[in-house]
Amino acid sequence: MASDKVQSISDDAFKATISSSTPCLVDFWAPWCGPCKAIGPVVEDLAEEYQGKVTILKMNVDDNPVTPGQFGIRAIPTLILFKNGEIVDQITGAVGKNQLVDLIKKAL
């Protein structure tokens, strides 16, 4: 479900990718998850709006169980914002665009 603006990420590439000084917003999702599908277009919009400022990634929790387990993710969608490999903040559930913009602004 990734696009040209939103990259898919795997367990293998996760640590190296989020260690960047560029903020990374990771959307933990699954194809069968209704709320994940609902928030998908919002995540796409944000990827376009913040291109070059924030890296926006999607991780399929069914295909990549290790990373969600490390972060104690129990519900999806969960979006976690990282900067320099550290968690800045996170949101769980299909939230509105304004809440995600507020989340992103914490790392800019």
Helix (H) / strand (E) containing 55: strand 55-60
Q: Is residue 2 part of a domain?
A: no
CATH classification at residue 85: 3.40.30.10
**Enclosing domain of residue 66:** 7-105
**Would you say residue 89 has pLDDT above 50?**
yes
Q: What are the catalytic residues?
A: 33, 36
Say if CB 55 and CB 107 are below 8 A apart: no
Q: What is the pLDDT of residues 2-46, one digit of tens each?
A: 556 788 999 999 999 999 899 999 999 999 999 999 999 999 999
* Residue 93 belongs to a domain: yes
Residue type (1 letter), 18: I
Report the mean per-residue pLDDT for the chain. Answer: 93
In three-state secondary structure terms, 83 is strand
Kind plus residue range of the DSSP H or E element containing 99: helix 97-105
d(CA 3, CA 40): 10
